[in-house]
Amino acid sequence: MKKYDYLIVGAGLFGAAFAQIMTERGKKCLVVEKRAAVGGNVATESIEGVTVHKYGAHIFHTDDKRVWSYVNRFAEFNNFINSPIANYKGKLYNLPFNMHTFYQLWGCKTPAEAHAIIDAQRAAAAVTDPQNLEEKALMSVGEDVYKTLIKGYTEKQWGRDCKLLPAFIIGRVPLRFVYDNNYFNDRYQGIPIGGYSQMVDKMLNGVDVLLGVDYFADRAKLDGMAATTLYTGPIDRFFDYELGELEYRSLRFETEVVDVEDYQGNAVFNFTDYETPYTRIIEHKHFDKTQRSDKTVITREYPAKFEKGGEPYYPINDEKNSALYKKYAEKAAATKNTLFGGRLAGYKYFDMDDTIAAVFEMTDKLK
């Protein structure tokens, strides 16, 4: 008889939620994590009394009451509302694209004026069947918004000309004709007070966890300890890249303690020109207004080429990679006693609420 019902590879949000739910059902779970701490990319740490998002800003937002109720079992969430500022060659614009942005661009003050300008620019672009991101953006928001606030940022982020990126990526960008700087439309929004790592720690209460363990270094032994393995890492790595390597974009973070009380007056500044090498500066103190410190902590976020063995952040879901992933997914479905979950195993970008919802979908079938 196996010692564990489930071996869970990865202590990120997917693995932690799965372990918590199955443990609550009376199953015995073992989580192995190659990093020295739990949380995956939502991990946080305290620096100079400030809760720092180690791997980029994470704001929890959802319309799903079941998801929101679940995460609130493990943390008290503040009411943080994401209202980023864009810096384009020294000029500042509100995000998401809204009436504040349109006033800053053109001086217009009413939705009708903004509609007229954008509609004229859409018509001038004359795109009806967009074949790439640039054409989709011009068709959706017009030339000024695209060139000022989308083009440079996107090309830095993906390391490719917008003409070479698939059109669907632009679908994530909101466009509003109201004076509203709330980036997300979701009913429930916030960040755990004290950070995500504390939340994940509580989720894993009562679960056996091994940190600093590379699953692939002792795979046969670890698999032998459990009846079923849940794998949340890169799916091509699981199969030893036998069909080829999936492509990703990576990130590099430079975190700095600054000897001032407030560095930029806002949690998130996006740098939308191509010449600035980083895409964002995060000032972590602004994620939680209860934090008190004479110093502040900022993180510059640099897009980076993904190298094998590095940290994969964003899947490149173009036609070639999507076809390759489909082949890996077919192999995964045929793999006995193994489940695959999370953004890396699914080769798909997940918001945090999507991750929890996907865990629900998986565990509901295991009842």
> What are the residue numbers of the active site?
172, 176, 249, 280, 301, 349, 351
DSSP string, 44-99: EEEETTEEEETTS---EEES-HHHHHHHTTT--B-------EEEETTEEEESSBSH
Nearest-angstrom CA–CA distance, 69 and 84 = 26
CB atoms within 10 A of CB 242: 10
| Lateral strand order in the sheet of 4-9 | 208-211, 29-33, 4-9, 226-231, 338-340
| Lateral strand order in the sheet of 314-315 | 91-94, 85-88, 268-271, 280-283, 296-305, 248-258, 314-315
Nearest-angstrom CA–CA distance, 281 and 269 = 5
Contact predicate 66/188, CB 8 Å: no
User: What six digits make up the tokens of 346?
Assistant: 């699914």
Listed residue (313, 194, 190) closest to 250, CA to CA:
313
For residue 9, the one-letter residue type is: V
**Range list of β-strands (E), the chain:** 4-9, 29-33, 44-47, 50-53, 60-62, 85-88, 91-94, 188-190, 208-211, 226-231, 248-258, 268-271, 280-283, 296-305, 314-315, 338-340
User: What six digits make up the tokens of 45?
Assistant: 């740490």
Nearest-angstrom CA–CA distance, 36 and 11 = 10
